[in-house]
Structure 1
């Protein structure tokens, strides 16, 4: 399946099917003719053709003349009004940006090189960026935070998701660490995030715990607060909370609508502690939340309204980063998220993917959707 969406400064191509060479050819045909002075591209491929990514990137550079490509592998990818999951697919978008207004980077530690953050030739400062990361990289969260801090840039993006090769693209294929593209302040972006979980109790306080173990909440065994918030029905059979109930770690300085969702790893019913996929310390705020389709659908609409208000009808193209825990399996139908974006913004050229974590500002979230629009 393929479709053609046009913009004056961006071109979009996407296709799904069995033969990656045909998919590539279909995408290339859709972006022709290239925008005048096209110099930047984003490309996302499903993990079923991840092994072909080196060839795809080489061909794109050779046949479009565009050297600067960024992107990632996902178990699902998306384009305007459509989502491709569990099938070979490619989605790519090319654009013409001011010369010198962006730079690609790769990083496999948490110390960005000085060259990454130097001003553009015209003296413009870095302002924003798209970042992709390898979920297997132990330092991925620290690296994202380090790039955001060093470049003083607002980041959006996601961690690759794949059964075999969670690769990224930054000019060429990147097999570990993080990578992406940083834009200077000549590139104007509007961004928004939507949550996939909703709080089921108040913001509480960790009073004992370390690393990923929450031992006490509000001076009592953590399990007591957990059971109080999830209710009697689930408390009687804690085996049912897996994949339904999560820990939420509120972001300092914000209200409880901005929180990092983390999986529950273990519950010790004898000693009353809870293990989560995150780190805590005494004094940290914590809440419990539930995956909720109705609340997530409403919050998606809220986010789109907010982004549309700030874009003021000037959007030229978009990129959407969603979680593999969302999509059809969560929303109960194919293409719900991208359909909502198209309903709000029309046939805006859009690409993106479903990842193992979503990046906003300087943090990695989970079960969220992050939208960025070029103005």
Structure 2
């Protein structure tokens, strides 16, 4: 990235979309020269997504916008939940440093059509994506995107309580923008060339409470045996006597962790417990598993989440080639006020560790890192 690269961010809330958007524009100030915008709106403004991005495009002169909706949005030191709110980050990047691609709902042909020539010339080191959680093939699309582009794929799934799950993107055919740059139903985002200096980090929201074990018998998402004995026996052993005597208390507190093969950081995917059958000793989790696969159990708590978040932030600072100039943060909807409290504490921790860096982001229904779907995590992308 050139020394002229700059980022400006703004976050605002209110009652009417137009007033909130204008407040963001006032807070942004002069964004002349910026050529890429990141836009996140709370789901209360999902109906107004097209109007919001159209206004921002017209006033700022920035043509290319990416982003989505979340139950909450975040900015530098701020988290806004359960209210109409907008978070914006405007960036100045080399014209050939990035390329948007439209919604991918099946194969990658729309991306090849819109960004194939650019990929051939520049390659991609990172893709920041947004995805529709209602689309059952999102995991497959993410894997195919990472393999085909060679990019490290990060991002998150839209979170919304209504019927609309907007993504800010470009249409599959840019001959006309008449319908507005808003879509849904798959995966969309932006590719960054290797010349754009960027770093990413993943912070877990759960901590292991027992050893890594082996699934020895299972049926789809049901764990029948772990380490050669009933799955529930191993589960009770790991969670301790107090919880084992009242399994109703584990809901929303204890989760299954699936270690990622080949990870040199001990990384794992957290999945919800769906059901416990004391009669058979079976456990059902929110992921299909196979015999021989590794599993561990985890606990969700604020202290371990904060410790891991600070660890991740300190590690990123060491890896950066210079001071961060801007960033995007995608956090799980189960984090934020649901884990850290109501005083924007998660974003305050980030500001304490990396400073007043212009940031935008949202609270997702699933987080994406290295082309995989996570839960209860925070994914930070920093530009420098």
What is the deviation of 1:247?
A: 0.4
What is the deviation of 1:122?
A: 8.4
Alignment-derived partner of residue 354 in structure 2: 345
Q: Residue 331 of structure 1 aligns to a residue in which SS?
A: coil
Show CA shifts across 1:65-106 (max 9, x none). Answer: 211100010000000010001111011111111112211123
Show CA shifts across 1:278-307 (max 9, x none). Answer: 110001000010102111111111011001
Alignment-derived partner of residue 188 in structure 1: 197
Alignment-derived partner of residue 109 in structure 1: 105
Within the alignment, does 1:222 sit opposite 2:231 as a pair? yes
Q: Distance in 2 between matches of 1:241 and 1:14?
A: 36
Deviates more, 1:337-346 or 1:356-365: 337-346
Show CA shifts across 1:185-232 (max 9, x none). Answer: 121211111100000100000111132111111111111111110111
Alignment-derived partner of residue 355 in structure 1: 364
Alignment-derived partner of residue 168 in structure 2: 169
8 Å Cα contact 1:83-1:335 kept in structure 2:
yes
Within the alignment, does 1:15 sit opposite 2:12 as a pair? yes
Within the alignment, does 1:24 sit opposite 2:24 as a pair? no
Q: Distance in 2 between matches of 1:254 and 1:124?
A: 28
Q: Distance in 2 between matches of 1:368 and 1:245?
A: 15
> Between Structure 1 and Structure 2, how many residues are aligned?
368
Alignment-derived partner of residue 324 in structure 1: 333
Alignment-derived partner of residue 58 in structure 2: 62
- 1:1-375 matches, within 5 Å, as 9-36=6-33, 38-113=34-109, 114-115=112-113, 118=116, 120=118, 123-164=121-162, 165-171=164-170, 172-254=181-263, 257-375=266-384
What is the deviation of 1:149?
A: 1.0
8 Å Cα contact 1:79-1:351 kept in structure 2:
yes
8 Å Cα contact 1:9-1:35 kept in structure 2:
no
Alignment-derived partner of residue 175 in structure 2: none
Q: 1:255 to 1:311 in 2, by over 3 A?
A: closer
Q: 1:294 to 1:167 in 2, by over 3 A?
A: same
8 Å Cα contact 2:103-2:183 kept in structure 1:
no
Q: Distance in 2 between matches of 1:254 and 1:366?
A: 17
Q: Residue 126 of structure 1 aligns to a residue in which SS?
A: coil
Alignment-derived partner of residue 3 in structure 1: none
Q: 1:332 to 1:151 in 2, by over 3 A?
A: same
When normalised by structure 1's length, the TM-score is 0.94
Q: Residue 125 of structure 2 aligns to a residue in which SS?
A: strand
Q: 1:248 to 1:14 in 2, by over 3 A?
A: same
Q: Distance in 2 between matches of 1:247 and 1:359?
A: 18
Show CA shifts across 1:231-278 (max 9, x none). Answer: 111111111110010000001112573100000001111111111001
8 Å Cα contact 2:40-2:68 kept in structure 1:
yes
What is the deviation of 1:51?
A: 0.6
8 Å Cα contact 1:10-1:95 kept in structure 2:
yes
Q: Distance in 2 between matches of 1:66 and 1:332?
A: 35
Q: 1:210 to 1:255 in 2, by over 3 A?
A: farther
8 Å Cα contact 1:35-1:95 kept in structure 2:
no
What is the deviation of 1:314?
A: 2.4
8 Å Cα contact 1:119-1:126 kept in structure 2:
no
What is the deviation of 1:8?
A: 6.4
Q: Distance in 1 between matches of 2:6 and 2:263?
A: 36
Deviates more, 1:82-91 or 1:340-349: 340-349
When normalised by structure 2's length, the TM-score is 0.92
